[in-house]
Chains A and B, each alone.
Chain A
Amino acid sequence: MASEGDRRADPEVASRRSRLLSGFRLEAEGAKGVAIALLSTVVFVAVIVVAVTQSAGWPEVKRTFFDWGDISSSFPDIAKAFVLNVKIFLVCEVFILVLALVIAVLRSLPGPVFFPLRALATIYSDLARGVPTILVIALLGFGAPALQLTGVPRSRVFWAGVGLILVYSGYVAEVYRAGIESVHPSQEAAARSLGLSRFQALRRVILPQAIRRVIPPLLNDFIGLQKDTALVGTLGVIEAFNQSQIDSNATFTYGAYLAAAALFVAITIPLARLTDWLIARDRRRRQAGALA
């Protein structure tokens, strides 16, 4: 809805504002729109706050969850433990990006010769996405070290990481595959017609275009992975979630959980905003390309 006001508004200011607010879907609403959004948000939040603080259980919840002393005193320990979550996230992500790409490429091989590889990759994707992550981590984290294989690490963190890599590669492979399939077959024909081999065409022409298109959904899976590093705690490894459980058990309050949640959010929200920004940038580029 375009009001009289925003048709007169300076287009440069309007576009800067819409860029700032694009994450919240307020584009093209103008000053009046922003005012309405603000007012409605204030009313909405006020209603929630009143409803919650008037509830019968609020004093007890306030004591157990929102004790600032609990939250801040547990924070340093949890932050220290959280470093492990970040490490797991960063290391796993690298392996996931590589393994998933291999699976996606195997799945997109054409012709009857490659049927076994395609089938294998398909079964892998289905299994990886079908089994609950927490089960995979438990199976590997408790099971693999128990095998006492020589030359293989026995650390639970290592095997939990392997579990995360296996599970997330299934998801990320599907993201890559969607990207590969979105590249028009004429691009491969053009590459092959110049004498490039199938592999060269894939590496130089198809994958660069495919990967560029799927960066936003890839980041989305990064966010999921960052959260799921907390599942490593179920093996008894001291990471942020487990540390907060320990702190919470010591005080019989839950403020420590809030501290852990804040740490996760501090990483995932910037990632989410980055994803939105990339999507918006990609849309702008495509529109600019269409106009040229």
Chain B
Amino acid sequence: MTAVRLERVHKSFGENEVLRGIDLQLADHEVVCLIGASGSGKSTLLRCVNLLERLDSGRIFLGDEEITRKGVDVNDVRRRIGIVFQAFNLFPHMTVLRNVTLAPRDVLDLSRREAEERALELLGRFGLADRRDEYPDRLSGGQQQRVAIVRALAMRPELMLFDEVTSALDPELVAEVLNVIRELAEGGMTMLIATHEMGFARDIASRVCFLDGGLIVEEGAAEAIFSRPTQARTQQFLERIIEAGRL
């Protein structure tokens, strides 16, 4: 079954054409990593799937349903797709528990007890149970990002989007966040992951897409992309990554 499908997606910000016709398809339980330089359109692509950006043209399907059609209930689409941001974006005026229960209670109309049970189960699974009453600014970056992941998971999404979720973290905190994503992959979550962590992408991805200038330049199994890239631009990009010691 197709989890999500993008057809000829175009998106510009003023003069700047960020996405120039993206075609992409994810099957259920597939983990696809988007790699590419900053500004290649990875984040914009994810934001389009979540309907945080409006497409200029093209279509996006979630399952069989076109979510870019007129009159679609965007709130309903968003509750089915979780997204985690580079800068965590936790709500600073709420405790960890409240951050996680807000949407289940307000959007899914769960009772407080149900929402808290669901939240505590997830917080416990990712080693955050003892942080439930802390405010976000009292947590490390890695903990904050794990809470942000839990917050998205509490909505039981069909699809998870990750937008460079380790880029704002100190190096020693990266692993704890990547391990959470790994665990989700093992659990069969369908995921679209924009990342600069090439080793991680190589490990986890069923497929890797290299984006450059708003287009998917090359796409294939992780091993193929990293070991035998066929496109010149992919080769150049990976050479620079290797030079920087990131692969």
Contact = CB atoms under 8 A, between A and B. Distances in A.
Interface stretch (A95-103, A119-127, A137-145, A182-190): A182-190
B229 to A, nearest CB: 33
Interface stretch (B4-12, B76-84, B216-224): B76-84
A28 B102 CA distance: 43
Interface in B77-103: 78-79, 81-83, 85, 87, 89-93, 102-103
Interface in B118-148: 137-138
B149 interface: no
Contacts of B89: 186-187, 189-190
Contacts of A72: none
Nearest to A193: B83
B107 A205 contact: no
Interface of A: 186-187, 189-197, 200, 204-205, 208-209, 212, 289, 292
B175 interface: no
Interface of B: 50, 52, 75-76, 78-79, 81-83, 85, 87, 89-93, 102-103, 106-107, 137-138, 151-152, 155
A273 B92 CA distance: 27
B107 A200 contact: yes
A191 to B, nearest CB: 8
A208 B93 contact: yes
Contacts, number: 58
Given A204-B102, A289-B137, A292-B138, A194 B107 contact: yes
A179 to B, nearest CB: 13
Contacts of B90: 190
B52 A194 contact: no
A196 B85 contact: no
Nearest to B105: A204
A196 B103 CA distance: 7
Given A193-B83, A194-B107, A195-B107, 14 more contacts: A186-B87, A186-B89, A189-B52, A190-B90, A194-B102, A194-B103, A194-B152, A195-B155, A196-B102, A196-B103, A209-B92, A209-B93, A212-B93, A289-B137
A192 B87 contact: no
A191 B85 CA distance: 12
